[in-house]
A = this chain, B = another copy of it.
Amino acid sequence: MTLIDGKATAATIKAEIKQEVERIVAAGGKRPHLAAILVGHDGGSETYVNNKVRACEECGFRSTLLRFEDDLSEAALLAEVDKLNANEDIDGFIVQLPLPRHIDEQKVIEAIDPKKDVDGFHPINVGRMAIGLPAFISATPKGILELLRRYQVKTSGKKCVILGRSNIVGKPMAQLMLQKSGGDATVVVCHSHSPQLAEECRSADIIIAAIGQPAFVKADMVKPGAVVIDVGTTRVPDASRARGFRLQGDVDFETVAPKCSLITPVPGGVGPMTICMLMQNTLEAAKRL
């Protein structure tokens, strides 16, 4: 069994990005510049945004963090989005989700210029990706495909079972794994209403678990030699940790890992790749402009 080291892979990719950035800058080009809008003080969001700012530094990008209190009106937020759309120095930007309840997230996402939508959440990017056209692909599914590639997992003609049908992981993952230029796999999507879920998993060459249920995938659901990618990151109480919790994936790692050819740990698997792919998208945005 080989552990897929997302942290090390992400570090490698960030170093590659930094090298490319320095080449671009040395040739007189522009240093990529990512902006992030953070509304309010959600603990998780603060951490994510800080990690993104740090990743920008590691990649040699400029970054700008715009912070607002959670009483910011929707109109005011849309005006900030417009300013970033118009700001030629900003190559790409994200609006950290979730937003306060009084703001319509979808409206904000659709206000972002698709050419600067490095999160890949704008419907036009979602649609272009579905059709197989060049598009910003959202970071988690893109990161998983990149991990599979870097670990030389053969996907073409393989049976890939995806657990979960969320807009940000399950659905785009299915599309990427399906496309000839992507995974070229036979794709199965199972979810909470799939009575055949365990059976489908047992015949899978690759399982991608993004169902948000801690330790849901058990050893008896996995074929010997399967590749297992765990997208779950649920906080479960753990008195032995200083923070009082630990991150638990969707896979029961202890029992599943011995059966796998390759498996991602949680944390340190898919997670580190996500921010890394946001950096990749930002570099692409900068190169396109």
Binding site for B on A (CB under 8 A): 106, 122-128, 130-133, 156-157, 159, 165, 167, 171-172, 174-175, 178-180, 184, 186-191, 193-197, 200, 203
A205 and chain B: residue at smallest CB distance:
B196
Which of B156, B184, B188 contacts A187, CB < 8 Å? B188
A121 and chain B: residue at smallest CB distance:
B131
Given A126-B130, A127-B128, the answer on whether A197 and B186 have CB atoms closer than 8 Å is yes
Cβ of A190: which chain B residues have Cβ within 8 Å of it? 186
- Contact status A189-B178, CB under 8 Å: yes
A123 and chain B: residue at smallest CB distance:
B127
- Contact status A130-B131, CB under 8 Å: no
A245: shortest Cβ distance to chain B, in Å? 30
Cβ of A125: which chain B residues have Cβ within 8 Å of it? 127
A200 and chain B: residue at smallest CB distance:
B186
A-B contact pairs, 18 of them (CB 8 A): A123-B123, A123-B124, A124-B127, A125-B127, A126-B130, A130-B130, A130-B171, A131-B171, A156-B193, A165-B179, A171-B175, A178-B189, A180-B193, A184-B193, A186-B191, A186-B193, A186-B195, A187-B189
A124 and B123 alpha carbons, distance in the complex (Å): 5
Cβ of A194: which chain B residues have Cβ within 8 Å of it? 157, 186
- Contact status A167-B131, CB under 8 Å: yes
A197 and B167 alpha carbons, distance in the complex (Å): 26
Question: Which of A106, A125, A130 lies at the interface centre, i.e. has the most chain B CB atoms within 10 A of its CB?
Answer: A130
- Contact status A178-B159, CB under 8 Å: no
Additional 12 contacts, C-beta under 8 A, given A123-B124, A171-B178, A186-B189: A123-B128, A124-B124, A124-B127, A126-B127, A126-B130, A130-B130, A131-B167, A132-B167, A156-B193, A157-B195, A165-B180, A184-B193
